Structure 1
Amino acid sequence: MTSQRKLRIGVQLQPQHAEYAQIRDAVQRAEDLGVDVAFNWDHFYPLYGEPEGKHFECWTMLAAWAEQTSRVEIGALVTCNSYRKPQLLADMARTVDHISDGRLILGMGSGWFEKDYDEYGYDFKTAGKRLDDLRDSLPLVKERLGKLNPAPTRAIPVLIGGGGEKKTLKLVAQYADIWHTFVGGSELDHKLEVLKKHCANVGRDFAEIEISAGVGGRGRDGKQPRTPEDEGQALVDQGVTLLTVGVGGPDYDLSMVEKYVAWRDQLSA
């Protein structure tokens, strides 16, 4: 599969196990390196390492990044739909969109980290019900974005993360500008075919959706990350055009990010 889209490199700066000064420094270094998108994530506790370790909130951080940066797009990978009313989320997104002069990506997902829900008093529900809630929220977000004054500076791109074939990929076909996944190989090929069928069923042009994937992380078996030339190229050959490296605190080692940026520039030279 080939694509006419420009290859983009993102970084997910995971806001855990770090002082905010270290996160601030990391997003500045990432922009200076030349990344296209800087993401954080929407959780209240670390996802790995010390479970009660340092952690910061997603959307207040995005507002700070909007002022601190000047070129990169910013967003959550991804916002948990359960934590905010859809109309409020739309207003928050519109506000960060203006602060950033039109550089926000609105990443959304149904949520999955039960500790967040339990500790902050949200109803965890079932996975299916959380997806139904996301389904119900997406049109409300879109509706509120159309009512706000001032309006967003642009049609804010919506990113949806997840790979469920019956519900999530249908929502991608209906609402997303970007689909984010962590799978590759034959599994990715299969899910792309499923997404194409959903697009055909809802009358959506599949080519309108940018395909995004996470790269560069260590597997659960502790193996070293693969290189851009093998992992990245394989995904690009499948049609992925946004490749995002996840980086944790407190040191925020951007060496793999730097390799992906250099590879991107080499390909476009």
Structure 2
Amino acid sequence: MTQSGFDTDRPVRLGVQLAPQHHDSYQVIRDAVSRLEDMGVDILFNWDHFFPLSGDPDGTHFEGWSMLAAWAEQTERVEFAALVNCNSYRNADLQADMARTIDHISKKGGETGRFIFGTGSGWFERDYTEYGYEFGTAGQRLDALAEALPRIESRWAQLNPEPTRDIPILIGGAGEQKTLRLVARHADIWHSFVSPDELPHKLEVLSRWADKEQRDTSTLVLSNELGRRDEAEARKLHDAGVRLFTHGVSGPDIDFDSVQRWLDWRDGING
């Protein structure tokens, strides 16, 4: 049964996370972005890390935010974001200004830009230690994200020119004490890896936080990772209310066939 109380009226969208790792050159990523947009992907994601997350830990890797600005200029239709930004690496007001600028770069012909501000508290210790950031604890990083999000939203209201739209905020994670409260307070999209069996409980927790925050969750889009899931499990997530599905691809050999398979599934679900 479809979960009530969340934004389930919109059609299913497919986001592809193009991992910026193990590519021989940036040209491979540039070509992949064009191909994925032409294939009909709805959203393109990268990630905000400094080293590969799988395969050779010292393999080739490119920085995410610079890449997002390039995607803003390169693409015409697709929305795009980091999945997700690490709040720890940049001052909150700077993050807001970077997001606003990329939003404007991506405004081409349409009325608004296409940038989504995907963010989280950070977790990959090597990023922190090698680039000189304090790793701290998971709780401290979440507290820092809680402090940053109001500053980001406030800075967006002060910038000249202002963003082309209310930039959608995607928050990733499923922690019940802090993350889901931040989702209820700030997010337009909640992204997680939660299984179909776990999702109803998480949505109950999220609904309780939304009540405390006086948040109308009918505007909140549920997002989930396809990963190793098959179509049957994806359908269960859809029945539970998920409307944005993300599928990851990586170098050195980008699996476009798997993307097409999920695009076909999306189109079948949408009828």
TM-score, with length taken from structure 2: 0.94
- For 2:160 and 2:12, locate their aligned partners in 1 and report how far apart those are by CA, in whole Å: 34
Q: Which of the numbers 239, 242, 245 marks the counterpart of 1:243?
A: 245
User: 1:28 is matched with which residue: 25, 34, 37?
Assistant: 34
Residues paired across the two proteins, number:
260
2:110 is matched with none
| Aligned 8 A contact 1:22 1:251 in 2 | no
State how far apart, in whole Å, the 2-side matches of 1:55 and 1:84 are.
Answer: 19
Match of 1:15 among 10, 15, 20: 20
| Structure 2 unaligned residues grouped into runs of 5+ | 108-112
Give the Cα separation in 2 of the matches to 1:247 and 1:234.
23
In the alignment, which of 255, 260, 266 is matched to residue 258 of structure 1? 260
Separation in 2, partners of 1:126, 1:11: 30
- State the partner residue of 2:122: 111
Q: Does 1:87 align with 2:87?
A: no
Q: Quote how far apart the aligned CAs of 1:122 are.
A: 0.2
SS in 2 for 1:103: coil
Amino acid at match of 2:249: V
Q: SS at 2:41's partner residue?
A: coil
Q: Is 1:227 aligned to residue 233 of structure 2?
A: no
- Output aligned runs, 1:124-135, within 5 Å: 124-135=135-146
Instruction: Report if the CA contact (8 A) 1:159-1:177 is conserved.
Output: yes
Maintained 8 Å contact 2:196/2:233: no
Supply the distance in 1 between the matched residues of 2:13 and 2:125 (Cα, whole angstroms).
Answer: 32
Matched-pair identity in %: 58
1:261 Cα shift? Answer: 1.0
- Structure 1: state its 5+ residue gaps: 218-224
Which shifted more, 75-84 or 204-213?
A: 204-213
Q: Distance in 1 between matches of 2:47 and 2:254?
A: 15
| Alpha carbons 2:184, 2:210 under 8 Å: kept | yes
TM-aligned CA deviation for residue 105 of structure 1? 0.4
TM-superposition CA deviations, 1:81-130 (whole Å, max 9, x none): 00000000000000000011110000010000000000000000110000
Q: What is the CA distance between 1:53 and its match in structure 2?
A: 0.6
Q: Within the alignment, does 1:164 sit opposite 2:167 as a pair?
A: no
The equivalent of 2:155 in structure 1 is 144
Structure 1 residue 26 displacement after superposition: 1.2
Counterpart for residue 78 of structure 1: 84
* Residue aligning to 2:9: 4
1:213 equivalent in structure 2: 224
Q: TM-score, normalised by structure 1?
A: 0.95
Runs of 4+ displaced beyond 2 Å: 225-228, 266-269
